Structure 1
Amino acid sequence: MRNMLRAAAVGAACTALSLTSAVAQATPGGPGVTGKVLAQKTIGDRDYILREVTIPPGQGTGWHYHDGTLYAYVKQGTLSHFDATCASDGVYDKGSSLKEPSGADHVHLGQNRGATDVVLEVLYVLPHGAPFAEDAPNPGCTFQ
């Protein structure tokens, strides 16, 4: 039920944004990880950005954190998500949603351990002008 509510919230927020099309730089990660801005709107001191992120098989996002909260919907594939303790904090199949909290104390990594592309629709709720992500060093995990 909670995943359905999150997916509905992401969908409603995405619908509320006026659509624009632009290509954005990918968060540093493995080869072929890409991101494309689908919509963007600034309200007050917040940027609301809808972005499609694609992670090819065997690749990942690189260790990072965000200055604002992210809401993601898995459109295709299966995302494996890890926190700074090197523990899995979720495996998200097609149709699942997840929330990534903000701040340097929430360093994480997303990986595609499957055989098909992972495609995410991500709603970024960021302070105005903040980057999509802030790079972070590997916290000591034996995988990248």
Structure 2
Amino acid sequence: MHTLRCLVVATVAIASALASAAAASATPSTGVDATTLSQATVDGHDYVTKEITIAPGGSTGWHWHPGRVFGVIRSGTLTHDLSDCSVDGIFAAGAPITEGSGPDHVHVGRNLGSEPVVMWVVYIDEAGAPLTVDAPNPGCPFE
């Protein structure tokens, strides 16, 4: 009986911890619309092209990418911040953008301008992998 009670207490504690972590972990995007332009799987890799629009004042939310990401800013100006709260780029229309892969490359894209940011972005991932993984705000005073 003691073993069963310990198991129940441990299970409840783990479930509570996971529920709290899930609720507090993600920073949702705001003002973002994404449309898939193309997608294909070739030799075990997914190739996905999206048009991403961020409204003025909008943000991608904090996240990272498991695979490679390449893009071009079609219109507007994107401000790109790293998890140390530094701006690592301000990208205007026509500018290319790439992002590092993995959980040590947490970042956020923000539209601080008055017109929408429109990007075309290509994701190259292992087949079936997510394009992005949500992350908590690392302590920056903005989204």
Q: State the shift of 1:44 in Å.
A: 1.2
Structure 2 residue ranges without an equivalent (≥5): 1-26
Letter in 2 for 1:35: A
Q: Distance in 1 between matches of 2:28 and 2:34?
A: 11
Structure 1 residue ranges without an equivalent (≥5): 1-26
| SS state at 1:33 partner | strand
Number of residue pairs the alignment of both structures matches: 117
Q: Distance in 2 between matches of 1:47 and 1:133?
A: 13
Q: 1:69 is matched with which residue?
A: 68
Letter in 2 for 1:44: D
Q: Determine whether 1:35 maps to 2:52.
A: no
Q: 1:20 is matched with which residue?
A: none
Could you list the per-position Cα deviations for residues 75-115 of structure 1 after superposition, in whole angstroms to 9, with x for gaps in the alignment?
01000000010000000000001111110000000000000
Q: 2:79 is matched with which residue?
A: 80
Q: 2:88 is matched with which residue?
A: 89
**Greater gyration radius:** 2
Q: 2:119 is matched with which residue?
A: 120
TM-score (norm 1): 0.79
Q: Determine whether 1:137 maps to 2:97.
A: no
Could you list the runs of 4 or more consecutive aligned residues of structure 1 that deviate by over 6 angstroms after TM superposition? none
Q: State the shift of 1:28 in Å.
A: 3.8
Letter in 2 for 1:63: W
C-alpha RMSD of the superposition: 1.1
Could you list the per-position Cα deviations for residues 6-48 of structure 1 after superposition, in whole angstroms to 9, with x for gaps in the alignment?
xxxxxxxxxxxxxxxxxxxxx9401x31111000111112101
Q: 1:104 is matched with which residue?
A: 103
TM-score (norm 2): 0.79
